[in-house]
Chain A
């Protein structure tokens, strides 16, 4: 491990990678602050840039920086104008905005910055401990287990989709998998399902799909509903005193400690992630708090602010565990990162740490750096950075659309790709109208070819579908996958039936 850390230090501290951390954090903070733009849209827009850098470590460091920068930036707009830029900072506004209204915006921003920093840093330490352990287990896996593991990952993502949404999420996952089979696969040199369209010969482009699923619907929603980008309630205006008292520091320390660990663990689970971590963190801390403390939640409690902030940052870091160790993304954002890695010819999976330790370790080391940079950048610069919130909508929307178009064009160098982008974007918007979750589609699409490769390899090895029965671990994982998908629906149904039964009895 220490060898790895040294390699990571060596790679992360090269001038170009340092530039990537600083650049990524800055860009992420700026864009994450804009209300209505989530980290997935930002990262989707940044991919073409990252891929053209060419060096996988630098690209991943940049994108990771953008990711946690965006989460950090989202908290600033939550606190100052009660308009979370990111779903995972919604819980931040519960107590952050009341604090800002009481004229304590500076204090709130400081608490958020410290909580984010601690969450991110503790998360990175846990990542450094857990990831190598998981890798040593994962190295024993064969393609059959990989296949099963990916199925488990995909089902877990669907299972976390929320009540009444599991079926839709599974449907989206399958749609993504189906889209992945379009074009020439790696295993068979035969074009499949291209419907005679030349531009589909190489399949759908992952960048185009990522833009079409996230950035474009986001922009269309901003157009449709002007209230979304409206800068919310005007904030308290001046950000003056950034200091927190010794007593406040003492009160938030245990909260940060607990929520960093809990957030990290939730982040590791596929499908959960920063949003769930932040809400759960807030709820848990409110329940633990007693008397006066508990009553303060929602009215400007520093504890209520520190909990979601440390949890969401730790969860962001946690979501890198399955990505870096198994090559299986647990969230839309890490799926996009995985797609970028594949585009850069890195094969993700447990061999990543063995074969390309510089990528593995430099990303982890860059997370420490990124957190330090975010803290250093944001504390003194917050009042100035907050000015970004004033970018008028008339500029914001055309530029988002323009950058999605550019991203799709640069990826494929082909004007037809732009038409595919618009078509898929409209489809994605309609899906969003009907409350279909879009992340499972993209995750399915990205995992699709790997899933098929591993499936086919096991079929070849065992001369048929028998591999499922012959390898107990594969069977076990597949059973787990089925349980994950069926259980939430079954429990919801039983709860509903019971509720109806009670109603009948009345």
Chain B
């Protein structure tokens, strides 16, 4: 089964759970005054879940076929290992690490680390250019966000300030 039909299957399951919640469990806590309303918070989700399940089934069964063959995909997921999959996964992990370390390490350090490490993963080796550019960006963005946009970002690690 091709990937697009697997996705349809996953969505079908999600819609099924969603529909089950809308039809059977959601209205339990509904205050009595709302029950006399023609629309409940669950009304629209009920409609959506029914349509969603039907459409997911339609895609799952492969009823609709492309006329004249498939166009070449930009990236063929069947040969994913031919691409720079490792790099992509490392970069995604770096993003997760960034999310977790942003508060404890402070904005400037974590952003600089993120930018330097991800450039290094991609193969950048000219540190003398990279590091100053990255530091200038981190400090510059911090200044813009904190001072111009007025959103608090802790700049330094927790043990400094």
Interfacial residues, chain A to chain B (CB-CB below 8 A): 52, 163-168, 170-171, 174-175, 177-178, 181, 185, 187-188, 190, 192-193, 220-221, 223-226, 228, 392-395, 397-399, 401-402, 405-406, 409-410, 413, 415-416, 418-419, 421-422, 425-426, 430-436, 451-452, 455-456, 459-460, 463-464, 489, 492-493, 495-496, 499
Contact = CB atoms under 8 A, between A and B. Distances in A.
Q: How would you classify the secondary structure of chain A's contact residues: helix, strand, loop or mixed?
A: helix
Interface in B128-142: 130, 133, 137, 141
Interface in B5-33: 6-8, 11, 14-15, 18, 21, 26, 29
A224 B4 contact: no
B92 A426 contact: yes
A54 to B, nearest CB: 10
B146 to A, nearest CB: 11
Given A164-B65, A171-B11, A433-B75, A188 B91 contact: no
A401 B118 contact: yes
Interface in B117-160: 118-119, 122-124, 130, 133, 137, 141, 145, 149-152
The number of chain B residues touching the other chain, given as a range, is: 35 or more
Contacts of A193: 18, 21, 45
B64 A167 contact: yes
Contacts of B43: 455-456, 459
B119 A406 contact: no
B95 to A, nearest CB: 5
A404 to B, nearest CB: 9
A193 B41 CA distance: 11
Interface string B84-105: 1101100110011011101100
A499 B87 CA distance: 45
A392 B74 CA distance: 22
Contacts of B150: 52
B161 interface: no
B152 to A, nearest CB: 8
B95 A405 contact: yes
B91 A171 contact: no
B151 A413 contact: yes
Contacts of B99: 405, 415-416, 418-419, 422
Contacts of A464: 38
Contacts of B122: 223, 393-394, 397-398
Given A171-B11, A399-B115, A224 B59 contact: no
Given A402-B111, A459-B38, A181 B44 contact: yes
A426 B98 CA distance: 16
A460 B40 CA distance: 10
Contacts of A402: 111, 114-115, 137
Contact of B4 (A225, A435, A496): A435
Interface in B28-60: 29, 34, 37-41, 43-45, 48-49, 51-52, 55-56, 58-59
Most buried by B among A171, A406, A436, A452: A171
Nearest to B129: A395
B48 A174 contact: yes
A91 B6 CA distance: 34
Contacts of B7: 430-431, 434, 436
Given A167-B64, A395-B133, A410-B151, A192 B45 contact: yes
Given A167-B63, A174-B52, A406-B141, A456 B39 contact: yes
Contacts of B63: 167
14 contacts: A164-B70, A167-B58, A171-B59, A181-B48, A185-B41, A188-B41, A193-B18, A223-B87, A225-B83, A399-B137, A402-B114, A405-B95, A422-B95, A451-B44
B13 to A, nearest CB: 13
Contacts of B111: 402
B77 A434 contact: yes
Given A175-B11, A430-B3, 16 more contacts: A163-B68, A164-B66, A165-B66, A171-B59, A174-B51, A175-B52, A181-B45, A228-B74, A394-B122, A405-B99, A410-B145, A413-B152, A415-B102, A432-B74, A433-B77, A456-B39
